[in-house]
Structure 1
């Protein structure tokens, strides 16, 4: 079969690559064309456009790039028409994907969505569009199935693909890793400032302001695959700071604590059982707009899934050196760490275990075959 997959950022590239591997196992004749990144390209298929070429963060950044985004949408529609896939699979990235889905459904393409848009966070009105334009939805968060059911839409909970991504990685030799990246013997505090330039610029300066207050630790920046070292270099002014690109999971596996920008990284950090402080600071205009439309009690996936505060969230004005220092000291305390470990194990149970990529691929493959028989 011919599959057309659209993913829009680093996490979508990761989950898309694992979905592609699972589809290829099921369908020996799979022909895949996709929008994604390096991981999806390594899995096989034909790359249409890399996610690095279309990353825009926040409301104002999107507004300033409307012409470019419009051009991408037009190009995508034309590419789909030329390829004529048996099925289109959308991965997260709702701003772009739901626009394509509306057009695709009207042109009689089969539309499946893997990793639901966060309609439970804001703009629940999008559910009616999803019901209209998406033939099948595969959710990765345990509360999403019940949420959609309230609106009369039956979805599949397939488990969370991060469980697979982490479980399938080989363990590293810590001593070899430290030597290879010129890390000393001090315990590590990992800094995960995000993947987009705008958020990295806002987050990294405040994170690095703590370095001189924790001389018994070494700080290591987890560089995003979408950014080069030259972008990070101006921020690194202390000797006790290292930089490692595109090795976030390996770094987390040997870290004592982490300062993490809100997003998928908060869940990745929790699954590696690393105590963390969640950080978030946006463009002032974007933040105030978001505050009006987002009705959630929490911003981190960890707290949302657990439906209670497990990890501390420092948001906007609360993200300052004084409070961040206090919260980092707290998660380095033995009692706090022990409670976090217990909460993290409960979180992992709620996510449903291994097999998300295979579960989704099987449902996608079987639905298409059944409709043809």
Structure 2
């Protein structure tokens, strides 16, 4: 362990979103401690802030039971290396960024050895499998929450937590003109544009794109002046979507964009989205939306028994009200989504947009600065 003026800080991020979060926090920690040393796991953004990554971050970015099982020996080996390194070097603080299944067991070992631990991005323990809170308390000294209602849950369970706001609220401007986004993407500025965002993963597109394309086809039949646009994260996902479009709605006037999902959403009059972080981005960009999600049958049987929250989309969770239409599983039908999306093109949708602005202000807390201040306080205590 080093001195408080040159602390040793251990930090692990398991995927790109964590690398982005961690880079902002490390930048602020470097301002507080110019001589700090950072070790752990991170991607190029965190490494640019001085992190020495002990194993490749890509090795941790594994999702799905089959994929985890296939990488299990490698993951366990990495975890053993990291725990042993941290126990030997005894950092002033350990920060796990998201990836709770990987980070919380490490935090538990380190906390038991007297090392202070922080978890950045609350697991969705308030929504499902609430019994996990007991394990989190054993592993973590302080939780950094992105959403305001999360802190209340930890307060109730007597675990120190700070609402730091969401970095996306800091990064996305309060106003994003449609005309500017359309000019950037070379979309015409006269038509009404609907954004179709079925997800970024292969399985999500397989489940959601056929439904979304049928909804777009129905809307286009009712209003041939509409145009559609979809951003795709990679060439492989674009090809997957293109094949489905040719099968289901070959006549649809649809423009496919390479990446640039935020610009694409900003260019639209309304959005059809698969639930996830993209719904928060859409709210911050302030575009009317309809949210849907379909799980595979087995996953849904599990989740519906354990899920405790009233809503599943982030705008509704933040508002604690049905702010945007959301449809899951058997309710996610062509009829329901078409009717709801048509309403989002009506003038009354502007009332929802005004509420989006209020929520944006609530989340805009300078998360990088606040998270670094909490870590600094733990180091000095």
TM-score w.r.t. structure 2 length? 0.84
How far the C-alpha of 1:80 sits from its partner, in A, is: 4.6
How far the C-alpha of 1:38 sits from its partner, in A, is: 5.0
CA distance in 2, matches of 1:37, 1:195: 20
Which of the numbers 348, 353, 361 marks the counterpart of 1:341? 353
How far the C-alpha of 1:350 sits from its partner, in A, is: 3.5
Does 1:148 find its partner at 2:154? yes
CA distance in 1, matches of 2:354, 2:208: 28
Mapping 1:308-327, distance limit 5 Å: 308-327=321-340
Which of the numbers 221, 225, 249 marks the counterpart of 1:216? 225
How far the C-alpha of 1:310 sits from its partner, in A, is: 0.3
What is the match of residue 314 of structure 2? 301
What is the match of residue 30 of structure 2? 24
More displaced, 13-22 or 325-334? 13-22
How far the C-alpha of 1:156 sits from its partner, in A, is: 1.4
8 Å Cα contact 2:165-2:365 kept in structure 1: yes
More displaced, 284-293 or 252-261? 252-261
Which of the numbers 189, 194, 200 marks the counterpart of 1:189? 194
Determine helix, strand or coil for the equivalent of 1:210. helix
How far the C-alpha of 1:52 sits from its partner, in A, is: 7.5
CA change 1:246–1:107 in 2 (3 A) is farther
How much is the aligned-residue C-alpha RMSD, in angstroms? 2.7
How far the C-alpha of 1:36 sits from its partner, in A, is: 4.4
More displaced, 148-157 or 267-276? 148-157
Mapping 1:75-114, distance limit 5 Å: 75-82=78-85, 84=89, 85-114=91-120
Q: Write out per-residue CA displacement over residues 247-304 of structure 1, whole angstroms, 9 at most, x where no aligned residue.
A: 2222222221111221221111111111111111111101111111111111011111
What is the match of residue 181 of structure 2? 174
8 Å Cα contact 1:73-1:100 kept in structure 2: no
8 Å Cα contact 2:196-2:212 kept in structure 1: yes
CA distance in 2, matches of 1:8, 1:314: 30
Does 1:288 find its partner at 2:288? no
Q: Write out per-residue CA displacement over residues 82-111 of structure 1, whole angstroms, 9 at most, x where no aligned residue.
A: 363432211222222222222332344331
What is the match of residue 71 of structure 1? 74
Determine helix, strand or coil for the equivalent of 2:56. strand
Does 1:200 find its partner at 2:209? no
How far the C-alpha of 1:163 sits from its partner, in A, is: 1.2
CA distance in 2, matches of 1:188, 1:63: 39
Asked which structure has the greater CA Rg, the reply is 2
Equivalences, count: 358
8 Å Cα contact 1:139-1:145 kept in structure 2: yes
What is the match of residue 162 of structure 1? 168
Does 1:329 find its partner at 2:342? yes
8 Å Cα contact 1:164-1:354 kept in structure 2: yes
How far the C-alpha of 1:74 sits from its partner, in A, is: 3.0
Which of the numbers 138, 145, 155 marks the counterpart of 1:139? 145
Does 1:50 find its partner at 2:57? yes
Q: Write out per-residue CA displacement over residues 307-352 of structure 1, whole angstroms, 9 at most, x where no aligned residue.
A: 11001111011212222111110111111x122112212322433x
CA distance in 1, matches of 2:10, 2:258: 30
Structure 1, unmatched stretches of 5+, are none
CA distance in 1, matches of 2:209, 2:362: 31
Structure 2, unmatched stretches of 5+, are 1-6
CA distance in 1, matches of 2:274, 2:59: 19
Does 1:356 find its partner at 2:367? yes
CA distance in 2, matches of 1:113, 1:313: 30
What is the match of residue 4 of structure 2? none
Determine helix, strand or coil for the equivalent of 1:222. strand
CA distance in 1, matches of 2:176, 2:72: 38
8 Å Cα contact 2:146-2:164 kept in structure 1: yes
More displaced, 89-98 or 265-274? 89-98
